[in-house]
Structure 1
Amino acid sequence: MKSFLFVPVAVASLVMLMATADKALAQSTVGLRLFETKCASCHQSSQNKKAPDATRLRKMTPEAVYAALSKASHAQIQGLSDDDKKMMAAYLGGRKIGITEIAAAKTMPNQCTNDPPMGDISAGPMWNGWGVDPTTNARFQPASAAGLNAAQVPGLKVKWAFGLPLAEEAHSQPTIAGGRVFLGSDAGTVYSLDAGTGCVYWSFQTEGAMRVAPSIASVTGAGSAKYALYFGDQKANVYSVDADNGKLLWKVKVDEHPVAQITGAPTLYEGRLYVPMASAEERTGGLSMTYPCCTFRGSVTALDAKTGKQAWKTYIIPDPPKPAAKSAKGVQHYAPAGGAVWAAPTVDTRHHALYIGTGDAYTEPAGKTTDAVMALDMDTGKVLWSVQDTEDDAWLSGCGGGGTDNPDGISENCPRPLGPDYDFGSSMILRTLPDGHRVLVAAQKSGMVWAHDPDQNGKLLWKVQLVDKLALGMITFGGAADDQNAYFGLRSGGIAAVSLKTGEKKWFTPLPGQVPRGPEQGQTAALTVIPGVVFSGGWDGILRAFSTEDGHQIWEVNTAHDYKTVNSVKANGGSMASAGPTVVGGTLFVGSGYLFGAGGKPGNVLLAFTAQ
């Protein structure tokens, strides 16, 4: 390995900024400033053939980067402290240095002493993947599996807490099957825990941060493995590991774009994984004056669950990006780009189709498949139909506010005119009504909820605006639905119920004591429903339960404080703004801690609640 790093400054800066968007701002700013002041002057030439490109750079572990920096002797990095080098290595490597040792299950005092092979996971209740059932993604847990009823909810108390080492967010939603809990962390470690006690069976280290819900299924022909656990990371890798012991079965990189990310859980169904792909380019492309934006296209990729072999890949924007205009500084721009798929696809067994919502364009004009609801053939990936619910939405972060996000002014990467940023950021909900009709519900960051007919090529059935768009009424990580209503949490604060049949707003419950548009408010975390109760986590760190009948609040608990953990890791709760609770066998599992955006509070704890 070379004793120093050549990094193309524009692309590498984007990788740095990508990390900045998701980590504590103070630390991120230091790391980025160190890189740009100490390294960028030597690495700004894209013609330097010695320089590893961003794809290669992102494949390096932070330990390898740190080793290279420690051996280097050139003048530019003289004066860097050991901590400085570790921060730079963490940015380039996509995770904190030393995670493998510090976060490993083998170092924890609460290792499970009794470790029998997993039994039949179908014999007991489970929450598998993002939405419990991939054929609805409704986040509804029936009474038989929930083991918890409305009368018991006010008695919920913390049974155990598990600390996520070196994590700053509890982003990954736990999957529960066979009496075990499977979850990841933004530090890139995946754990298997005992659902009853929180003791740890094993851990697995990914290359990048992990924020998705894992999925589990039986597997054959994989040695002694009986069940496989599947998940993706923030470096666009998909993994299959033995659910019994965490041993790697296969790993596949699904997208080679340098800032491609898996933010939505891959959907597992009948031997295939359907992987949604998003990127950091939307959040960071507008912050740079020199990055050659934009080149990422959202996609869905189908993988064989047994081998990881790709069956098909469908890009949301069919045409690849081509050179467009150059900036005043001579930076080449590209188009078209965008259409990220942020969330888990939904399966329709009747039409053998996948339903997805797409994000905005990064370049203008915005294509017809951006901000759209789409149906893809499960066998081939062919687009069956597509309905665009918001036109002309080309957007990049950092392009608004008169250039205040960029001290050098507004980047020429910014679309003109700038769109409203109305991505579909959550999974489509597919429900069958009591009269047999079906409805496909799509919730948008605008605060608009759309209902499409899956049996008539996405024909619009109804739409409802839940809150004034100017009130930041975003629906971000999605709602939940029983067979009568859909329920949504709003960034502006509060919970709304909407009739699945008509779109009529059945009730709305504002949250008391919140300052309008203040940092403490917001219910952007995914909701979860059991019969009679809808659960919602808030930016203020409070987990609340509401009656599905009329919306009155029946319980709350503040998770934003320190916890004594079963694994003796120092841990605290914080904002709850992404993944939702999972309810299985009388226990409610939820992570606490979220940083992205104004007002987010860090946290690194998984909590298990039972009625006491």
Structure 2
Amino acid sequence: MKSRFARTGTALIGALAGTLLAAGAASAQPAYPSVTQARLDNAAASKGWLMFNRSYAGDDYAPFAQINTKNVASLKPAWSSAKIDIPNGFEGTPIVNGDYMFATTPLDHLIAFNAKTGQKLWEYDYDLPKTALKTVCCDVNNRGVAVYGNEVFMGTLDNHVLALDATTGKVLWNVALEKPGIGYSISEAPMIVDGKVIIGSGGGEYGARGFIVGLDAQTGKLLWKTYTIPSPSEPGGKTWPAGAYKHGGGSPWMTGTYDPKTKQLFWGVGNPGPWLASMRPGNNLYSDSVIAIDPNTGAIKWHYQYTRNDTWDYDGVNTAQLADITYKGKPYHALVEANRNGYFYAINRETGKLIYAVPFVHDTSIIGIKDGQAVNNMKLRPALDKQIFTCPSFLGGKNWWPGAVDPATNMAYVPTLHACMTMKGVPVSYAAGLPYLGETFEMKPDPASPHHMGSIQAIDLSTGKQVWQHRTKEPWDGGAMATSGGLVFSGTADGHLYAFDAKTGKILWKSPYLGSGIIANPMSYEIDGKQYVAVWSGWGGVWPLWSGKLGASLAKAPRGGQLHVFALNG
């Protein structure tokens, strides 16, 4: 088990050299439009792409129709970055503000491009200590940055948060949130709300007690820190055995969403530690939950727990997207999420109460919903003397990669995994910096989908039921983006970016081979009246690390990343 984690520390670590590489004279650079809170509040209507999931709603929906169902077949390459020889997964979403594009790579590199021409404006390589890579669970990812004022903000694998000048890459402040090598890491893109940098920790597989912080964007000063696993004196603390909260996991390791009207953050929380649930009886709040947080204080306002006393690693970190829906004739301000446990959820974002939950993959771990909560299949829970077979696998019906929500079609578009697993309990004790699982596992084919491990599917938000599905032999590990041109874009393990008809699922365009598989999220922006679509290629991430024999067909897939940008006239 230890060797699986160690494999995430690859070559090139020693090549990192916290240096700033200028490309082109500053006078040749485009003007930089300052990012105000008003612009962030209205990011959904921006010509750029101002945050990880485009807007606070997290819906990955671009209101651009220049590229549409009638002409997408004419989409051509506009520009590409040089290939980057890092053999890890490229999971970042580029951020575009004006003519500036900011893109991160594995191992905490940050590159600024001219979004129109592809010219490299500057590059910053974070000086990452080798110690940090001892406790990185699932590849050495950096998923992106946040922008505010004239600064760019980035988290790092050794638990730092940095502010850099957007036009030069000069570091303005650098704050450490935790020591490296003891279990914590940061791989998510930050979010900015009212002058605060909001970011969460990773490390649940090492028993690191999860937390979310709010930092002053001007200085990096810590304003608040909220632990996602409560102590005995805090609400929810009695859902853990005595002392277990100290190593309870619950990492909030993916960027959340925010409702500016109600001033509430919505952040997903990961799996409890250890994985073996018999070691921690109780509901184990706030693991496998979405929590509503006051961005000014960090106070938890409400929670909804997807999987109680989880023993299958069904994290709750998938993005809870804001959507206004109508269910059984009644309107709701909702959060919608395709959860790792195999159910598609709609939750009232004002109260935290369940609206509906419907399975979207073959699911044996959860046998239904009762009194607003998932019901665990108690017969399919591993123990020290018991091996089980269940579906979905610990990678979930959907993993972290973002889905998209289209208000015009009233559908969610969900990248989906069809895989199952065996699990068996093994003895484990906590030690800082070592995996804290208590289970062995092996991924297996899904008997309900033996010839297709992946798909992208459309789900009707009014019912939670599938409208269409496109299946693939290999896993579907890339995110999805919808546009007002009636399209859904998503990339695949075989190295192609696809455009689907959002209403029917018909393939309308397929990119040339992009050199490596895609596990990142596509994004789109407009400059000077021209629409672009961009995505990173660069195979890696959780599938090659954890899929075992099930992933044999992709074991020798090409590695290395490259940023690809497309437009109608090339």
User: Which TM-score tier does this pair reach, normalised by the shorter chain?
Assistant: 0.7 to 0.9
Deviation per residue, 1:384-426 (Å, 9 max, x gap) = 1112111121xxxxxxxxxxxxxxxxxxxxxxxxx11111232
Specify the alignment match of 1:97 in structure 2. 15
The CA deviation at 1:164 is 5.1
Cα 1:147–1:126, aligned 2, differ >3 Å: closer, same or farther?
farther
Cα 1:125–1:206, aligned 2, differ >3 Å: closer, same or farther?
same
Which structure shows the bigger proportion of residues in strand conformation?
2
* Alignment counterpart, residue 308 of structure 1, candidates 183, 196, 220: 220
Q: Pairwise mapping of residues 117-156 of structure 1 onto structure 2 (< 5 A)?
A: 117-119=31-33, 125-134=47-56, 136-143=57-64, 147-156=66-75
The CA deviation at 1:250 is 0.9
The CA deviation at 1:504 is 2.3
Specify the alignment match of 2:337 in structure 1. 442
Cα 1:100–1:356, aligned 2, differ >3 Å: closer, same or farther?
closer
Specify the alignment match of 2:521 in structure 1. 580
Does residue 488 in structure 1 map to residue 411 in structure 2? no
Specify the alignment match of 1:454 in structure 2. 349
Local SS of the residue matching 2:254:
coil
Q: Pairwise mapping of residues 40-119 of structure 1 onto structure 2 (< 5 A)?
A: 95-99=13-17, 105-106=21-22, 114-119=28-33
Does residue 556 in structure 1 map to residue 499 in structure 2? no
Local SS of the residue matching 1:154:
helix
Q: Structure 2 counterpart of 1:582, which letter? A: M
Q: Pairwise mapping of residues 362-373 of structure 1 onto structure 2 (< 5 A)?
A: 362-363=273-274, 364-365=279-280, 367-373=284-290
The CA deviation at 1:351 is 2.5
Local SS of the residue matching 2:249:
coil
Cα 1:210–1:241, aligned 2, differ >3 Å: closer, same or farther?
farther
The CA deviation at 1:171 is 2.4
Specify the alignment match of 1:6 in structure 2. none
In structure 2, C-alpha distance between the alignment counterparts of 1:141 and 1:333, rounded to whole Å: 43
**1:590–1:606 contact (8 Å) kept in structure 2:** yes
Local SS of the residue matching 1:261:
coil
Specify the alignment match of 1:55 in structure 2. none
Does residue 198 in structure 1 map to residue 118 in structure 2? yes
* Alignment counterpart, residue 268 of structure 1, candidates 192, 200, 203: 192
Does residue 501 in structure 1 map to residue 462 in structure 2? yes
Local SS of the residue matching 1:265:
coil
In structure 1, C-alpha distance between the alignment counterparts of 2:52 and 2:347, rounded to whole Å: 21
Q: Structure 1 counterpart of 2:263, which letter? A: H
Specify the alignment match of 1:299 in structure 2. 211
Structure 1 residue ranges without an equivalent (≥5): 1-12, 29-86, 219-226, 286-293, 326-331, 394-418, 515-520, 562-573
Cα 1:370–1:509, aligned 2, differ >3 Å: closer, same or farther?
same
Cα 1:96–1:525, aligned 2, differ >3 Å: closer, same or farther?
farther
In structure 1, C-alpha distance between the alignment counterparts of 2:334 and 2:343, rounded to whole Å: 16
Which structure shows the bigger proportion of residues in helix conformation?
1
* Alignment counterpart, residue 425 of structure 1, candidates 317, 333, 349: 317
Specify the alignment match of 1:67 in structure 2. none
Local SS of the residue matching 1:430:
strand
**1:542–1:558 contact (8 Å) kept in structure 2:** yes
Cα 1:255–1:120, aligned 2, differ >3 Å: closer, same or farther?
closer
The CA deviation at 1:502 is 2.2
Deviation per residue, 1:543-566 (Å, 9 max, x gap) = 1111111111111124342xxxxx
In structure 1, C-alpha distance between the alignment counterparts of 2:505 and 2:62, rounded to whole Å: 18
In structure 1, C-alpha distance between the alignment counterparts of 2:354 and 2:126, rounded to whole Å: 41
Specify the alignment match of 2:261 in structure 1. 350
Q: Structure 2 counterpart of 1:530, which letter? A: T
**1:175–1:213 contact (8 Å) kept in structure 2:** yes
Cα 1:239–1:592, aligned 2, differ >3 Å: closer, same or farther?
same
Specify the alignment match of 2:383 in structure 1. none
In structure 1, C-alpha distance between the alignment counterparts of 2:287 and 2:217, rounded to whole Å: 28
Q: Structure 2 counterpart of 1:304, which letter? A: D
**1:341–1:357 contact (8 Å) kept in structure 2:** yes
Cα 1:17–1:489, aligned 2, differ >3 Å: closer, same or farther?
closer
Local SS of the residue matching 2:61:
coil
Q: CA RMSD in A?
A: 2.9
In structure 2, C-alpha distance between the alignment counterparts of 1:271 and 1:207, rounded to whole Å: 26
In structure 2, C-alpha distance between the alignment counterparts of 1:129 and 1:259, rounded to whole Å: 27
Cα 1:113–1:446, aligned 2, differ >3 Å: closer, same or farther?
same
Structure 2 residue ranges without an equivalent (≥5): 40-44, 129-139, 364-390, 418-452, 545-553
Cα 1:389–1:170, aligned 2, differ >3 Å: closer, same or farther?
closer
The CA deviation at 1:99 is 4.8
**1:161–1:608 contact (8 Å) kept in structure 2:** yes
Specify the alignment match of 1:215 in structure 2. 146
Q: Structure 2 counterpart of 1:308, which letter? A: G
